[in-house]
Amino acid sequence: MQKRRLGKNNLEVSAIGLGCMGMSFGYGPAADRQEMISLIRTAVARGVTFFDTAEVYGPFTNEELVGEALAPFRGKVAIATKFGFKLDPATGKPAGLDSRPAHIKEVAEASLKRLRTDVIDLFYQHRVDTEVPIEDVAGAVRDLIREGKVKHFGLSEAGVQTIRRAHKVQPVTALQSEYSLWWREPEAEVIPTLEELGIGFVPFSPLGKGFLTGQIKEDTKFDKGDFRNIVPRFTPENRKANQALVDLLGKFARQKKATPAQVALAWLLAQKPWIVPIPGTTKRHRLEENLGAAAVELPPDDLRQIEDAASKVAVQGARYPESLQKMVGR
């Protein structure tokens, strides 16, 4: 597995990471714990050194899973986790945002225990909290870095002004946001800003929450606990309209003797050398497929052809319901 460097702060990780959220949260019932531990360890054996989790995934159960799975390899892998949600003590579910410095430090201590480690490699603010100045957030993480409890500071779904303000207080190593062939908004302002400041980019949902694999059709039924049920882009009529993008990927995949998912990931890798996508999966064959994308080469002519074809497809539907959309890009 090739390596890539995120930001100027010397965080070197595998070119493709593993998003672990879906193993416990978001896409229906949690997968079998022992199977997921085995899957994470298979990823390590295949050269993956970058694993993504968060306290709110579960909550807590995903960090515990990742911590147990990676304990034997701790010195050889980087774990990213996140802070910034307020959890309802009665239900354990998210109940708004909380990035007060005291809360950030409490979350760090708890995450360290769940992850079975003495240092968090990359600590992201999960969503920008407009009630707390970003300078205070960056300062709290700077304190944790000085204490040796955190190595790198990250932001998730932040807007460019927030990124700039945070970066002045504590250099931001990576921004995590959604980016793929079917969500390209970061290209307008975010990616140029990251390039200017020397910040790495970690696209989540690089396969469009599974849609770009070609396995989700107009009539696909999701589990009742799957959050795609509330995503406008996944209504049956929008899935039908958006199939054109998957068909486009399929055409290029056949030329490359690859799969649509591999072409989608290879396209991301080809955008910038400091982009590290984190596709998630609960299946071993999908893990192997995703990692195979690192070997798919897309020379400039291929990228031009994909760009030209993709520009003719108008993707239908918002990527989030309004309640979630208002929490991004702030």
Catalytic residue among 57, 124, 179, 320: 57
DSSP 287-317: HHHHHGGGG----HHHHHHHHHHHTT----S
Contacts of 28 (CB under 8 A, 6+ apart): 222, 223, 224, 225, 226
**Strand boundaries in the chain, DSSP class E:** 3-6, 11-14, 18-19, 50-52, 78-83, 85-87, 94-97, 120-125, 150-156, 172-178, 200-204
- C-alpha span between 239 and 244 (Å, rounded): 9
DSSP 8-state class, residue 140:
H
Is residue 57 annotated as a catalytic residue, yes or no?
Answer: yes
- C-alpha span between 314 and 115 (Å, rounded): 42
Query: Rounded to 10 degrees, what is the CA torsion of 3, 173, 203, 43?
Result: 40
As beta bridge partners, residue 4 has 13
CA 64 to the chain's CA centroid: 18
- C-alpha span between 19 and 30 (Å, rounded): 14
Angle at 105 between CA 101 and CA 110, to 5 degrees: 145
**Segment (H or E) for 112:** helix 101-114
Backbone angles phi, psi at 45, to 5 degrees: -60, -30
Contacts of 137 (CB under 8 A, 6+ apart): 99, 101, 104, 125, 129, 166
Task: Tell me which residues are annotated as active site.
Answer: 57
